[in-house]
Structure 1
Amino acid sequence: MSATRTAPARASGIDRYFRITERGSSISQELRGGLATFLAMSYIVVLNPLVLSGADTNGDVLGIPRVAAVTALVAGVMTIVMGLYARHPFALAAGLGVNAFVAITVATTPGLTWPQIMGLVMLAGLIMLLLVVTGFRRAVFDAVPAALKTGIVVGIGLFIALIGLVNAGFVRRLPDAAQTTVPVGLGTGGDLEGWPVLVFVVGLIVTAVLVIRKVRGAILVGIIVATALANLLEALFDIGPSVHEDGSPNPTGWSLVTPSAPDFAAPDLSLLGAVDPFGAFSSVGGLLATLLVFAILLSVFFDAMGVSVGLAQEAGNVNEDGSIPDLNRALAVDALAVTVGGGASGSANQIFVESGTGIGEGARTGLASVVTGVLFLVAMFLTPLIHLVPFEAVAPALVVVGFMMCQHVVHIDWTDAGAAFPAFLTFILMPFTYSIVNGIGAGMVSYVLIRVGQGRAREVHPLLWAVAAAFVFYFGMGVFRGLLGIG
């Protein structure tokens, strides 16, 4: 009598489309990952409006409620597009590096209005989209040496960990840093104190133990435990924010988000389309406007490239030859997000490094991004929803994910110092300068110069020469503007 064979279960349409089983994941894993990513990056709905809350040179302001609404809307829509089209677990939102540049540098340029400023962001996104369509952006990615790619992964891990430590108030700039040789230290004035820091420490210990023990859902469980503790402590002790409403400091308060109950709020989307793409060229002149577009473009171009490399490798979504499947699709969505973010006056949207939190939770496909995007759309109507989860509750997850990514350092060939040293500069400068772009730029420029110094210039890919030259201009932007007498 022959043995009865059980036919393998057919994968569902969702499974086949997102390649869930193929990538070693499951629907429940993707759902947990999408939720974890949202919790880790939801703070941007609060922080982006604060960064962009200053006035332009005409005295006009964007308004915090309006920016919060478009921040959640664009993040939600573009993250869903990333999940459905590129099928990677990459979430997008307003990039902190570029929005700080826009608020601090561009917005203070005499003569520019907010619609014109966001028009420059929009133009940078359109140019980047063109570079993706023509294959140039992918060609640059392929030209980067393996050691630098690994350095980018490690650097992003260190950067994520530092973001977590700073967000939790565990690491802070010391008040007297200008008078001492120690620029940063533990907690407030070099000491750890306050209930929020305790929430971080408890969350870190719980998350680390669960991850090391390979408990399913470890990162999400850690976030939930820390969130519950934070809300309980706030209810008991009325801790409050780090800065009171009257502007007075509260050193032991929550760093930005104070735990509170959610409430319904209809979004104000009046900023959508309030953009002037070419007005800056007449207001400040074609040369300065072009330089500003170039600076924005260079920042978003390499930030996304570095983050996508790091996250894809951490997720294991890399082919045997080192290539990333559907990378052009991911880069195209990223470029479109820059354009849409500018058009919505919410600044450039980019792939967020905090997506690593969901990946650490097990996310491997675009289904996780769809989940994250839907939650952002919900947050558009329930903006206070994100107040349930303070920075201190998600910071432990970022530190643990940073640890996971830093383990890739063993893949650098340290016997080839000509490639290893640029990789070293890449991963130390990302956290030390608080910028992914700075780390990548330093790695690219130093790699070219060291190879030339070794007499091995022929090993440098032609595109790397162009990239290195662009970064020299980027790093010297202030000098060039001074020489040209503009800005």
Structure 2
Amino acid sequence: MNAFLDNFFKIRENGSSVRTEVLAGLTTFLTMSYIIVVNPTILSEAGMEYGAVFVATCIAAAIGCLMMGLIANYPIALAPGMGLNAYFTYAVVKGMGVPWEIALGAVFVSGILFVALSFMKIREAIINALPMSLKMSISAGIGLFLALIALKTAGIVVANPATYVGLGDVRTPQALMAFLGFFLIVVLDYYRVRGAIIISILAVTFLASVLGMNQFHGVIGSIPSLAPTFMALDFKDLFTAGMVGVIFVFFFVDLFDSTGTLVGVTHRAGLMVDGKLPRLKKALFADSTAIVVGATLGTSSTTAYIESASGVAAGGRTGLTAVVVALLFILGLWFSPLAESVPSYATAPALLYVGVLMIRGLAEIDWHDITEAAPAFLTAVFMPFSYSIANGIAMGFISYAVIKLACGKAREVPYMIWIIAALWALKFALMGA
């Protein structure tokens, strides 16, 4: 079996092993398993049935991961995206009064557009047109974004009416556990202990349970019915002016969230060749098809997950990592109570540690060329400060085009950068953030 897996996924060729890939898949799953609970919670506020969305979330994630692993051979996991599910519920359904069935239809159409663009090589052209400075700053920006998510999840960084953000109560058991988990990962990594991230997650979970800080929900539960959301899409009144704008937002935001994740994670894994991604078309096809499948099952847009970087940090380099994540999502259908038993402050240290690794991309930027450094800086800082990967990439595109033009270096800007910068500027002008 090991020989077959090695030959199919080219594991040794990528400097990995079957054991490492399995460990990396488990690591990625543990850091993103929160979506199994969070996605149904958010979409149920839109009127969707919690149990059905839970099942749709697991199956959509599993199918997306399988496609990414088997077709593109990348260690990148997919699942219904955070932010996009909030936009689905709070902006479209609650804010605009759109029935969730029609909102699902909008997600489906955005996915079809993605599939079409994958065949037309437009997404591939966008990624390959990215200057190296923006690619590196995207990786670093995602690292900062992950760090903010981790610190917020652990209650270490909190909202502050005077300064927007501030330091939380670091004396709380949750914050102390998060610090403990982070220090444990760093020390284990220093001594080159394999599986440092998983060891930390499991150790913090076990300690929290022993101390009575964590509620154990059991191990096995029954699988809810998918019927309430399966094939529930409604295309009536979908192509009105307002809904076309909704489709555009689903399409545009997911385009740059997934693009940023692909670039950031694959760079961290050392899978880029001359600044480009091999098998990029296959990766984009897997990503876009997962959106269509997810909408059909009954969930908001499925996208590549930045938490995949935790699996890469654990050594994942091939699609076997993604396949392992897929199998764990399928198992999650039966073991959802157990998945809920891992507290968020146990996975937060993993994200914070990955932020340390991904910030290294800033070292590869030419800081002596201000026309490269300034857009790179804006790209990186806008991700955590606006709480959006897409906004960071948008500011990178716009500032790169404007600064190069103003400095008489317009010829250095690829034509695709001009097009995307103009579209983002138009989007901000007409729709705001």
TM-score (norm 1): 0.86
Amino acid paired to 2:226: L
Q: CA deviation at 1:434?
A: 0.9
Amino acid paired to 1:274: A
Question: In the alignment, which residue of structure 1 is the partner of 2:298?
Answer: 345
1:198-234: CA deviation from partner (whole Å, max 9, x where unpaired): 2211111111111122211111111111111122122
Q: Secondary structure at the match of 1:164?
A: helix
CA contact (8 A) 2:51 2:226 kept: no
Q: 2:242 pairs with 255, 277, 288, which one?
A: 288
CA contact (8 A) 1:124 1:296 kept: yes
CA contact (8 A) 2:143 2:354 kept: yes
Question: In the alignment, which residue of structure 1 is the partner of 2:93?
Answer: 107
1:46-445 matches, within 5 Å, as 46-55=37-46, 61-110=47-96, 112-174=98-160, 177=161, 180=162, 182-187=163-168, 191-234=169-212, 239=213, 258-270=215-227, 271-276=229-234, 278-281=235-238, 286-319=240-273, 321-445=274-398
1:33 equivalent to 2:21? Answer no
Q: 2:34 pairs with 20, 25, 43, which one?
A: 43
CA distance in structure 2 between the partners assigned to 1:473 and 1:391 by the alignment: 38
Q: CA deviation at 1:11?
A: 7.8
CA distance in structure 1 between the partners assigned to 2:373 and 2:23 by the alignment: 36
Q: Secondary structure at the match of 1:126?
A: helix
Stretch of structure 1 that moved more, 34-43 or 285-294: 285-294
CA contact (8 A) 1:125 1:338 kept: yes
Q: Secondary structure at the match of 2:83?
A: helix
CA contact (8 A) 2:63 2:290 kept: no
Question: In the alignment, which residue of structure 2 is the partner of 1:472?
Answer: 425
Larger relative helix fraction: 2
1:69-104: CA deviation from partner (whole Å, max 9, x where unpaired): 111111112112211111100001110121111112
CA distance in structure 2 between the partners assigned to 1:367 and 1:418 by the alignment: 40
CA contact (8 A) 2:157 2:165 kept: yes
CA distance in structure 1 between the partners assigned to 2:429 and 2:20 by the alignment: 45
TM-score (norm 2): 0.96
CA distance in structure 1 between the partners assigned to 2:96 and 2:275 by the alignment: 46
CA distance in structure 1 between the partners assigned to 2:105 and 2:393 by the alignment: 26
Question: In the alignment, which residue of structure 2 is the partner of 1:484?
Answer: none
1:287-335: CA deviation from partner (whole Å, max 9, x where unpaired): 222111111100011111110001001111111x221111111111111
CA distance in structure 1 between the partners assigned to 2:216 and 2:269 by the alignment: 31
Q: RMSD of aligned C-alpha atoms?
A: 1.7
Stretch of structure 1 that moved more, 213-222 or 440-449: 213-222
- Mark the CA change 1:446 to 1:42 in structure 2 (over 3 Å): closer, same or farther: same
Q: Secondary structure at the match of 2:237?
A: helix
- Mark the CA change 1:259 to 1:419 in structure 2 (over 3 Å): closer, same or farther: farther
Amino acid paired to 2:297: A
Q: Which runs of 5+ in 1 are unaligned?
A: 1-9, 56-60, 241-257, 481-487
Q: CA deviation at 1:461?
A: 1.2
1:14 equivalent to 2:23? Answer no
CA contact (8 A) 1:120 1:280 kept: no
CA contact (8 A) 1:448 1:464 kept: yes
CA contact (8 A) 1:340 1:348 kept: no
CA distance in structure 2 between the partners assigned to 1:318 and 1:272 by the alignment: 38
Q: CA deviation at 1:111?
A: 5.2
1:96-132: CA deviation from partner (whole Å, max 9, x where unpaired): 1211111121113545211110100110011011111
Greater C-alpha radius of gyration: 1
Identity in percent = 38
Amino acid paired to 1:309: V
Amino acid paired to 2:167: L
1:447-462 matches, within 5 Å, as 447-462=400-415
Q: Secondary structure at the match of 2:340?
A: helix
